[in-house]
């Protein structure tokens, strides 16, 4: 692309400190080092997790080092490759991955996990293999959120944190597979392993929850019960496969009792897609005591979840999922193929467009639930920004909704 071995100056949204709005800055993105790839980011999602690490560090989320460029849900084109990189060429369409797949470590070689230890500790600290970031601003290093940083027009990632996708894939859609949709969908197919004819309950009908609903439908579940405090969710949830809807606010009993009564003992599978420890316990207690499986999908790091031993002793299984259980490098291209073939919905998540320099407004929309094109409300909020090369335009793909804390113990 004519920029090999050169520092690229571009725009990025920089988080200088916790709790402060992002600042649009000119940053310098260094050439990739050995076994690294530099990407021109064409589309990037704004996940609730990005907002939480900026505004809830030290609360629900573990502290991160600042200054920091957030963003972990993107898609783009390879600009250049570092020495030793195999399998990628400039111009390839790719999705950067916060979860690597080196195919050599113990986890990668096991069918029991999708985790990977390659550079894990470094990327969690916002640096690459050599302990430094490839991005600087105002003369200082800027850390890369979980080694990715898609809120920059260019970024550099390790070769095992990127996967090549079909050349026909629209980047402003498949960027959703970098986190939220892949996580919810895979939680059902890979972690829960839902069987045909099963009864499923999905708590929280945001993007992650709707992707879980889609997974239940594709797995052949006979009943898919959506649980959310916003009644406006029902119609859109039906498009993804929900067969029944329960609003906890409509009942005086705890939601777990309502579900057990309605299903004759509880769903076979329940999926918590909110990231609230009270909802996690409710999801576990709702499923069938003898063989029910509860999968925790929603993300929180520092809060404690309590449960009674009897919740498990009779036969229930409690599981967690990370990136939906997908072996990232191998799994994401298959999800792209599923989208191109019509098996996986992505277009239905699109709402409206914002420029990159309004990314703070995107965060406001994320939390407030306001949307000018589609007013589809949800507990798990979701956005996607897409900026073009010529106009730095950003497209927002989002399910908006109530703030997460509204799904509180009092409402269950």
pLDDT tens, residue order, the chain (412 aa):
678 899 999 999 999 999 999 999 999 999 999 999 999 999 888 888 899 899 988 777 888 999 999 999 999 999 999 999 999 999 999 999 999 999 999 999 999 999 999 999 999 999 999 999 999 999 999 999 999 999 999 999 999 999 999 999 999 999 999 999 999 999 999 999 999 999 999 999 988 999 999 999 999 999 999 999 988 889 989 999 999 999 999 999 999 999 999 999 999 999 999 999 999 999 999 999 999 999 999 998 888 999 999 999 999 999 999 999 999 999 999 999 999 999 999 998 766 567 788 899 888 887 774 432 222 222 223 344 444 333 343 333 333 233 333 333 233 3
Domain containing 173: what range? 8-180+325-386
- β-sheet with 269-272: strand ranges across: 244-246, 223-227, 199-203, 269-272, 293-296, 317-320
Length of the chain in terms of residues written: 412
The answer to whether position 45 is within a domain reads yes
Domain assignment of residue 113, yes or no: yes
Assign residue 382 the CATH number of its domain: 3.90.180.10
Q: Which two tokens stand for residue 197?
A: 């004819």
CATH of the domain at 255: 3.40.50.720
Same-domain pairing of 253 and 344? no
Q: Do 135 and 231 fall into the same domain? A: no
Same domain, 275 and 347: no
Residue among 142, 136, 155, 147 at smallest CA distance from 43:
155
Indicate if 69 and 31 belong to the same structural domain: yes
Instruction: State the pTM of this model.
Output: 0.89
Q: Rg of the chain over CA atoms, in angstroms?
A: 21
What is the number of structural domains in the chain? 2
């Amino acid at each position: 692309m004519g920029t090999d071995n050169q520092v690229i100056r571009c725009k990025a949204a920089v988080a200088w400190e916790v709790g402060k709005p992002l600042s649009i800055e000119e940053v310098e993105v260094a050439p990739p080092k050995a076994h690294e790839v530099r990407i021109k980011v064409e589309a990037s999602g704004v996940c609730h997790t990005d907002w939480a690490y900026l505004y809830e560090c030290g609360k629900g989320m573990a502290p991160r080092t600042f200054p920091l460029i957030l963003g972990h849900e993107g898609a783009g084109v390879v600009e250049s490759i570092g020495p030793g990189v195999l399998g990628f060429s400039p111009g390839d369409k790719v999705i950067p991955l916060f979860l690597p797949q080196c195919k050599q470590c113990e986890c990668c070689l096991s069918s029991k996990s999708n985790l990977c230890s390659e550079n894990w500790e470094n990327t969690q600290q916002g640096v690459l293999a050599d302990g430094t970031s490839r991005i600087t601003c105002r003369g200082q290093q800027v850390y890369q959120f979980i080694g990715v940083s898609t809120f920059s027009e260019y970024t550099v990632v390790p070769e095992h944190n990127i996967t090549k996708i079909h050349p026909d894939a629209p980047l402003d859609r498949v960027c959703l597979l970098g986190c939220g949709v892949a996580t919810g969908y895979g939680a059902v197919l890979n972690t829960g392993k839902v069987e045909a004819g099963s009864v499923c309950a999905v708590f929280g009908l945001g993007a992650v929850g709707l992707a879980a609903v889609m997974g239940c439908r594709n797995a052949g579940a006979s009943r898919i019960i959506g649980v959310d405090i916003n009644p406006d969710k029902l119609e859109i949830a039906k498009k993804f496969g929900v067969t029944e809807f329960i609003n906890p606010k409509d009942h005086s009993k705890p939601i777990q009792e309502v579900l057990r009564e309605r299903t004759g003992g509880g769903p076979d599978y329940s999926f918590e897609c909110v990231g609230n420890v009270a909802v996690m316990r409710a999801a576990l207690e709702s499923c069938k005591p003898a063989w029910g499986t509860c999968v925790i999908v929603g993300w929180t790091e520092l809060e404690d979840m309590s449960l009674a031993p009897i919740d498990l002793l009779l036969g229930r299984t409690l599981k967690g999922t990370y990136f939906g259980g997908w072996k990232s490098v191998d799994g994401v291209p298959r999800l792209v193929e599923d989208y191109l073939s019509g098996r996986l919905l992505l277009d239905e998540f699109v709402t409206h467009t914002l420029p990159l320099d309004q990314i703070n407004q995107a965060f406001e929309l994320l939390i407030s639930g306001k949307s000018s094109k589609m007013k589809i409300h949800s507990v798990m909020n979701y956005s996607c920004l897409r900026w073009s090369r010529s106009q730095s335009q950003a497209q927002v793909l989002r399910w908006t909704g109530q703030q997460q804390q509204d799904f509180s113990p009092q409402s269950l």
